[in-house]
A and B are shown apart, each in its own frame.
Chain A
Amino acid sequence: MLRSARSLLTILAITAVVAACGPSQTAAPSGAPAAPAGAPTYGGTVTIPIVADPTLNPWSPNAFVESLFVNRILFDGLTKPGKDLAPAADLAQSWTTSADGLSWTFKLRSGVKWSDGQPFSADDVAFTFNDIVLKPDLGAQNRGNFSAVKSVTAVDPTTVRFDLSRKFSALASYLAYNAGIVPKHVLQADPLKTNSFNKGTPVSTGPYKVEKYTSGQSVSLVRNDSYFGPKPYLDRVVFTVVPDANTQIAQALSGDISIMILDDKAAVSRVKSSTDLAVVSRPLVQYYWLALNQTDPRFTDVKVRQAFVQAIDRKAIIDSVEHGYGSVANSAITPALKAYYDPSLSSKYPYDPEAAKKLLGQAGWTPGPNGVLQKDGKPFQFTMDVGQKGILEPVNALIQQDLKKVGVVADLNPMEWNAYIQKVVVQRNYTATVNWWTYPSDPDVFPYYASSAAGKGFNIPGYKDPKLDDLLTQGQTAADLAQRKAVYKQVQSYMADTLPYLFLWYPEEVDVVSSSLKGVPDLGLRDAVQYIGEWWLAKK
């Protein structure tokens, strides 16, 4: 009762604001959230759940996934992901590359101000990179993405030049990925550990600025009056800290949450039954994989890897664990990267246990007395380390059963997440494990596959292949889009043949959106927040 009375009050309040804003009284018919059927109106509050207190500094090593949302609204980068995911202008208006590809010059928007009224300039960009990202002892988040950058120079207040040590055609895309520019005049003394900034009211350039940070409860944002772009429609954007997934869903159902990512796809049918909520889904720049440690001689044989990928019923994993939201993967380039993705590979390895057995036989594995394959008298048995997070546990259980059907014994070793990372990623002390990669909206996946990253970087299986290295380097140095497309088509088919990781599937993101929320672009929610100035609330 309390609640409904209060939401009635809210509606009245919103109506009052809308009325005060003049003649824009045309009621918006409810429909798909992205279709601005009525004219946008000013006012209202949008509430988005996050799972923990955010750290409001895009470069802090403590800025975990819950911080992304907020930081992407607060801190503009030089570029941002366009609605087609290609890099688009943000703080930079345009950019050019030198003939040798080793120097990029960005022309900055003029007249931009920080939320405290101070002018923004090329010095802030140079500071962000030279004094934070490129300082090895700070260990800034995502600094690995900019390993090609040598230095950044402020040529004049609105021009900035990036000097590279090698060609890096993905630079503009990477600058759109969690690379917000932070204010030199505030963070000069302590770039990553200024608490009044990270956990308080940071100085920022985005359409909204922090109004209040309440630890353990919420971070509320209000319009930034010094924002360079058009005035955003919403009065407030509130991030509430709700760690429990069920509680998030309960709050969405009770109308306390405007928009959220539904990690828990099992609840889709329940959410769909609510008339106040819409459910939308779209591919992510993400893929799940099974890494087979290449220091284990059993897994260096490509026939074994190809056999495994046919033994695992990936479609069944998508249908059960992901409730159908995903598609089978055979390379690292995801369907979200429409310009590069090669759909013809999707049917390369259908589920076929018989073919898998045959391949394993060719690799010298023959059935033993109890149906378990063996070679030189040793059974095909190994341990899969399972990180206890998200859907990894049921996925591993399914893979274990699928492998059992072709005579391979995989023992599951579930581990608490932190200990799992220590064992698998830091020590590389594992035989097989399932996980996923999310990467910037660009097909340059060099860091995850390069031989030089085997054993210490992001190359988890420790796969080394000079031909793949060469292809990926060609992608980084490609002169134009047509050439890049051609290179990454080759990369995909070569990956599908050689299976450096066993590609499992490309997941889709499912978003739950209040039907009164309009103007949200058709992007993953973490990208769509970069267009929050276009969001608006229709009168109910």
Chain B
Amino acid sequence: MIVFVSALTFFFVNLAPGGPASVMRFDVTAEQRDALIHEMGLDRPVVERYADWLGGALRGDLGTSLLTNEPVAQRIADRLPNTLLLAGAALLLSIVVGIPMGVLQAVRRNSWLDHALTALSALGLSVPVFWLGIVLILLFAVTWHVLPSAGIASVGKDSLGDRLAHLVLPASVLASTVLPTVVRFTRSSMVDVLVQDYLRTATSKGLAPAAVVFGHGLRNALIPVTSAIGALAPRLLGGTVVTEAVFSWPGMGRLALEAANGRDYPLVVGVAVVVAAIAVVSSLIVDLVVARLDPRVVG
């Protein structure tokens, strides 16, 4: 699958009009342009270049970025942890906030609280991400000065607190794309569980409602929620593109945008391959977690 993605991206991106940004500038003469294209080996046939690339990739060499001349693997390694941090924080936030919210809604279903939270979730799913990000920057950074507006850390004042402060807004904005779905799934699967017989039995045996909800219900309710979260992983990763653009977050999304706009062919392919690999790995992880939660899914 990953080789397929690499081939597809490689040939596809080479079809794009234009060329590497260093060649496609206004103030470069035709003579310089030819020299650079030859330098970068872009005057060779695409098939030959792909064969070279694949040969290197199998040995762990993803090629050299045309825009910065650094190894593609290194450029990705610089940015990947930041994206994982952002996506991980957003996921954690969605779980920590989303599951209790969903449980609360299930327990109090059809109350005004339930309806209000449902409406809020729907709103969260409907607001354009970048718009929400901009509004939050205007409020929290420009008007109230309580949080930094962008970036991953302040220069020279790099501390854990500082990093967390930088993480709050982007993680919240990114979480807004998946949180409502987590809430929704938790609510409906919790409702399913709550109306089932064994819970009624547990309640009738005189167990306290809280013990029933958390002891018996939640574990079973979490199985479909975990699968749902697994299905959300690609959306989360895709959401980083826009979120990183709004918050100047130095991650994979911004790298992908730079690479595509600058026609950095090896970098585009490298990013695509890594993103595909993450998608594969994350779905494996979800399968494993589901297996742990659900004794019926074995082997």
Contact = CB atoms under 8 A, between A and B. Distances in A.
Please determine if A and B sit in direct contact within the complex, based on CB atoms under 8 angstroms apart: yes
Interface stretch (A81-89, A95-103, A191-199, A509-517): A191-199
B150 A251 contact: yes
A422 B157 contact: no
B100 interface: no
Interface in A434-457: 435, 456-457
Contact of A426 (B24, B78, B138, B147): B24
Given A47-B155, A55-B68, A418 B32 contact: no
A143 interface: yes
Contacts of A246: 134, 137
A417 B27 CA distance: 14
Contact of A418 (B18, B79, B155, B251): B18
A53 to B, nearest CB: 7
A195 B149 contact: no
B75 A215 contact: yes
Secondary structure call for the A interface: mixed
A254 B68 contact: no
Secondary structure call for the B interface: loop
Contacts of B68: 53, 55, 62, 195, 198-199
A376 interface: no
Given A216-B82, A421-B24, A422-B24, A4 B29 contact: no
Contacts of B70: 195, 199
A64 B248 contact: no
A425 B75 CA distance: 30
B155 A220 contact: yes
B184 interface: no
Given A6-B154, A215-B250, A422-B24, A256 B19 contact: no
A295 interface: no
Given A3-B146, A244-B246, A458 B27 contact: yes
Interface string B44-88: 000000000000000000000001111000010011001000000
A423 B153 CA distance: 40
Nearest to B262: A418
Contacts of A4: 145
Contact of B78 (A52, A193, A215, A251): A215
B152 interface: yes
Interface residues of A, number: 58
A26 interface: no
A167 interface: no
Nearest to B79: A216
Interface stretch (B35-43, B198-206, B221-229): B35-43
A12 interface: no
Interface string B140-181: 011001111111111111000110010000000000000000
Interface string B109-151: 0000000000000000000000000100110011001111111
Contact of B21 (A199, A216, A418): A418
Interface string B14-38: 0011110111111111111101101
A14 interface: no
B29 A247 contact: no
Contacts of A62: 21-22, 67-69
**Residue among A218, A240, A418, A421 with the highest chain B CB neighbour number at 10 A:** A418
Contacts of B24: 417-418, 421-422, 425-426
A253 B148 contact: no
A419 B13 CA distance: 13
B29 to A, nearest CB: 5
B187 interface: no
Contacts of B138: 250
A480 B205 CA distance: 106
A136 B35 contact: yes
A238 interface: yes
A72 interface: no
A107 to B, nearest CB: 31
Interface in B224-266: 245-248, 250-251, 254-255, 258, 261-263
A425 B23 CA distance: 11
Contact of A216 (B23, B162, B245, B250): B250
A236 interface: yes
Interface string A247-265: 1001101101000000000
A422 B155 contact: no
B141 A422 contact: no
A440 to B, nearest CB: 11
Contact of B152 (A55, A217, A238, A426): A217
8 contacts: A3-B146, A3-B147, A136-B35, A217-B152, A218-B155, A247-B137, A417-B24, A422-B18
Interface of B: 16-19, 21-33, 35-36, 38-39, 67-70, 75, 78-79, 82, 134, 137-138, 141-142, 145-157, 161-162, 165, 245-248, 250-251, 254-255, 258, 261-263
Given A247-B247, A256-B149, 4 more contacts: A3-B148, A45-B156, A195-B69, A199-B70
- 8 closest A-B pairs by beta carbon, nearest first, are A216-B250, A418-B18, A139-B35, A61-B22, A419-B17, A421-B24, A139-B36, A250-B149
